[in-house]
Each structure stands twice: as C-alpha cells, then as structure tokens.
C-alpha cells in the first residue's frame, strides 16, 4: 500500500479527522490484515494512527530535518508496525507502533546527520538524542547550587545519567563538534578504497524484539505476582528474603528472626516454591487453551 503523504499541513489536517479506533475494532482490522491481507483494513489501521506518527515526527524537528521528510519516515515506521503486528500477543497496536515509528525517524535523522560522526550502537544513539538535553540540565542544576563543573566532571555526570560508558560520551562529544563527511569517502589510502559506509553496523535491538521482550517481561511479572499471591505471609517473606533481595539472606538468619530451625525454614521455602510452581503451571495451561481457541 502506497503512503500518500502530500503536504505536511494537508496530511496533518487529514490525520486529525481520521476515525478513532476502539480496541475491538483495532483487533478486527489487525486480524483482517494478518490473516486475509485485507488492504482496506490495513489502510484504516494506518490512517487512524497517522496522527500519532505526526506527533512523534514533530518532536524531532530540532535536528534540522524537513518536517515533511520526518512525517514520511514516521509513516513508513507506522506501516512496518502494521505489517509486523501480531494481535495474538495482547498488546495495543498504538503501543507496538510507537517503537517502530521512533526507530524509523531516529534512523533517518542519524543517516542525514552523518553516521560517520554519530556511530550506530545503542549507547551512541542514546547519546546522540539525549546528550545535549542532559548536559544543559546538569549545567543548570550545578549553577543553581553554586557549583562549577569542569569538562571531566560534566562528562562523568552525563555518562551516569544516560547510562553509557564515559569514553562513549567523550567520543560523541568529539563527533558532534566535528565537520561532516561523505559516507562514500575512503578511510585511507592503505584501505584499498574501503569506504566509511562499509564499516557501519547497527547492533541495537530491532523494534519488534524490544516490544515483544517488554510484553513478555510484563506477562512474566504478572504471573509471578499471582504465584506469590498463593502463598501465606510467612512463605512470601521467606521467598522475598531468599530470592528477591540483591543480597539474599541465609536460612540460619531467617530462622533466628522467625524463631525456627534452619531445616524448618528450608522446608517452608521448598513448600512455597512448590505452590508457586503449581500456580504457574496452571496459568501456562490457561494460556495454551486460550491460544488453541
């Protein structure tokens, strides 16, 4: 299905007038496209969420790309999301589509900024889109507290805030300050004409994998909460202290606190795990039965 973009203002007006889908209608359209390749269903699904794509595209205007191009990329991400969406996973399409739209826009922005300067790993992408904002906030906070940060201190704070190694911050700072280069330029005479573009590789997770992993982790969390709910208060306490703490406690320390022998605490722990296993197995059977319908 071709994506008829037109002007960005025209498309924005059209998107704002599009229908709002309830969960049931959205699910029917998703099944119609996945199972029957119904292009009309795909068109309705994409059109209904084009306002979401436009809204996300607008957040990237500060990187200097034309708004119409950003909307085009957002629309392509939306179409990829619709094509790969699995309605059986129990996730709303809008939640799934956000990851694809953002990934498509970010890839476009980085391609046009220059991949030679920005890099392609997940930490480099995170720095590219967040470093200036984080740096400005840290400088404002330091000034408000009457502090003076040197470049090294600021880089360390940025690395901690964004969650990346310090050397990545230093490299990104240099890349953003450098001049632009052609991706088709050769690296050096010794490389026999090898171009910069030949060295680029995106090692980050794909959007579909990220969404599916997040959904699976949420499902697992809900299952564990239900399994813990099958335990009595003492059993929950033992499981938390033995398995959910960063520094698990010993059977002996729990026995001293509860006034029980170490062997009795071990027995209670084993009984609690047996109850949890039974609850999890029952939930697993329910899921299999539901998918078989």
Q: What is the pLDDT of residues 173-213, one digit of tens each?
A: 766 655 455 555 555 555 455 565 555 545 555 555 566 66
| Token couple for 79 | 């179409």
DSSP 203: -
Q: What is the mean pLDDT of residues 218-226?
A: 74
Instruction: Mention every residue, 6+ apart, whose C-beta is less than 8 A from residue 204.
Output: 120, 121, 122, 125
| Token couple for 234 | 């003492």
Q: Which residue would you say has higher pLDDT here, 241 or 129? A: 241
| Among the listed residues 13, 124, 130, the one whose alpha carbon sits nearest the alpha carbon of residue 63 | 130
* Residues forming beta bridges with residue 186, ordered by sequence position: 195
The mean predicted confidence, pLDDT, of the chain is: 76
Instruction: List alpha helices for the chain, DSSP H.
Output: 8-16, 23-36, 39-48, 50-58, 67-84, 93-113, 115-118, 122-144, 151-162, 166-177, 207-229, 233-239, 251-258, 262-292
The pLDDT of residue 176 is: 61
Rg for the chain, CA atoms, rounded: 26
The pLDDT of residue 68 is: 85
Q: Please tell me whether residue 186 adopts helix, strand or coil conformation.
A: strand
Locate tokens 């573009």: which residue?
197
Determine contact, residues 227/220, Cβ cutoff 8 Å.
no
- The tens digit of pLDDT for each residue in 73-110 reads 888 889 989 888 888 888 888 888 988 898 888 878 77
Which domains does the chain possess? 8-113 (1.20.120.1810), 121-179+195-199 (no CATH), 230-292 (1.10.10.10)
- The tens digit of pLDDT for each residue in 240-265 reads 888 877 788 899 999 999 999 999 99
């Amino acid at each position: 299905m071709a994506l008829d973009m037109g002007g960005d203002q025209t498309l924005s007006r059209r998107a704002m007038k599009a229908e709002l889908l309830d969960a049931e209608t959205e699910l029917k359209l998703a099944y119609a496209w996945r199972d029957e390749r119904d292009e009309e269903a795909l068109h309705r699904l994409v059109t209904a969420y084009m306002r979401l794509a436009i809204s996300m595209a607008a957040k990237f205007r500060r990187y200097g790309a034309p708004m119409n191009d950003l909307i085009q990329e957002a629309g392509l991400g939306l179409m990829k999301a619709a094509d790969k969406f699995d309605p059986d996973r129990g996730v709303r399409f809008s939640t799934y589509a956000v990851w694809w739209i953002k990934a498509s826009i970010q890839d476009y922005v980085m391609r046009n900024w220059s991949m030679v300067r920005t890099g392609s790993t997940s930490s480099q992408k995170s720095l590219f889109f967040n470093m200036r904002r984080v740096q400005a906030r840290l400088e404002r906070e330091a000034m408000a507290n009457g502090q003076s940060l040197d470049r090294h201190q600021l880089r360390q704070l940025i690395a901690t805030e964004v969650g990346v190694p310090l050397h990545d911050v230093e490299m990104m700072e240099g890349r953003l300050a450098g001049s632009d280069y052609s991706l088709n330029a050769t690296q050096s005479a010794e490389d026999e004409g090898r171009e910069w573009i030949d060295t680029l590789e995106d090692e980050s997770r794909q959007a579909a994998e990220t969404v599916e992993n997040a959904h699976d982790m949420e499902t697992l969390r809900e299952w564990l909460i239900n399994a813990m709910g099958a335990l009595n208060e003492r059993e929950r306490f033992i499981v938390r202290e033995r398995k959910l703490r960063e520094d698990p406690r010993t059977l002996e320390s729990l026995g001293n606190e509860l006034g029980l022998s170490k062997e009795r605490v071990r027995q209670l722990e084993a009984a609690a795990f047996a109850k949890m296993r039974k609850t999890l197995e029952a939930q697993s059977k329910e899921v299999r039965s539901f998918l078989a319908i």
